[in-house]
Amino acid sequence: MSAYAALFAGSLLAATLLPFSSEAMLAALLAARPGEVWPLLAVATLGNTLGSVINWWIGRFASTYRGRRWFPVAPARLERASRWFGRWGLWSLPFAWVPVVGDPLTVAAGLLRVDLPRFVLLVGAGKALRYAAVAVGLDALMG
């Protein structure tokens, strides 16, 4: 598997509900391939954003089971979450990369039917900025 394919796969997995660190993988590749910063950032961002889209689809699919007795979210809680997400939700999406809360946030966005193009734009922008910060930090460390 090529380094780019491994980075894409690792970044995708890191954005799903599975635990994985794409930042370490990106940092190692940036250190080994200093002339390939932009392609590496693009691949990591694309993979990580696609992983979040998978979470969004999981949330979207799960919403078809609302109202069933076994559905994990009570109707009153879902209504509260909908109001909260309506107020802050879209502007929290650029922070979907934050550990622990980011992955559930992307599932909630699907469950609450956030528009997919807007979701991709906001989540992708946040993930791109995070990976750029990793690159800048690594560059500062390596001098």
Long-range contacts of 128-131 (CB under 8 A, 24+ apart): 128/41, 128/45, 129/94, 130/23, 130/97, 131/23, 131/26, 131/41, 131/44, 131/45, 131/48
Q: Burial, 122: exposed, middle or buried (Cβ in 10 Å; 0-12, 13-18, 19+)?
A: buried
Distances (CA, A) of 3 to 41, 43, 108, 131, 136: 13, 10, 32, 17, 20
Closest CA to 111 of 68, 142, 65: 65
Residues 6+ apart with CB under 8 A from 6: 25
**What pLDDT digit, counting tens, does each position of 81-140 carry?**
666 667 777 888 998 888 877 888 888 899 888 999 999 999 999 999 999 999 999 888
Stronger pLDDT, 2 or 65, i.e. the higher one: 2
Confidence (pTM): 0.84
Q: Which of the pair, 80 or 92, is modelled with greater confidence? A: 92
